[in-house]
């Protein structure tokens, strides 16, 4: 395995954890459309977590492209 493969694996695991840490609603029903509130402004640690997640999505995408080009 190359460095790009290890980086892809690591970022996918980190990305999975970051996505699971983000809260969208109070329960599963809120995620399926049962919640009536609309949360449009992110503040504090929630905003930081969102920005870190975006960073890891970009890194994950770039490593996937590097793996495809390397083939």
Q: For residue range 6-16, list pLDDT tens digits in order.
A: 999 999 999 99
Inter-CA distances, 14 with 27, 29, 58, 59, 66, Å? 23, 26, 13, 11, 19
> Is the pLDDT confidence value at 27 over 50?
no
pTM beyond 0.85: the answer is: no
Give a yes or no: residue 29 inside a domain. Answer: no
Domain limits at 8? 3-24+42-70
Considering the domain boundaries, does residue 33 fall inside one? no
Within-domain flag for 11: yes
Per-residue buried b or exposed e for 12-32, using 16+ beta carbons within 10 Å of the residue's own CB: eeebeebeeeeeeeeeeeeee
Domain count, the chain: 1
Does residue 32 form part of some domain? no
Over range 18-41, report the average pLDDT: 63
Q: Indicate whether 31 belongs to any domain.
A: no
- The answer as to whether 61 is a domain residue is yes
- Does residue 34 sit within a domain? no
The per-residue pLDDT for range 43-58, each reduced to its tens digit, is: 788 888 989 999 999 9
């Amino acid at each position: 395995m190359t460095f790009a493969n290890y980086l892809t694996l690591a970022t996918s695991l980190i990305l999975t954890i970051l996505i699971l840490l983000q809260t969208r609603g109070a329960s599963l029903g809120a995620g399926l459309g049962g919640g009536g509130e609309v949360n449009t402004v992110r503040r504090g640690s929630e905003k930081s977590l969102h920005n870190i997640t975006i960073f890891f999505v970009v890194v994950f995408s770039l490593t996937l492209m590097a793996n495809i080009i390397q083939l």
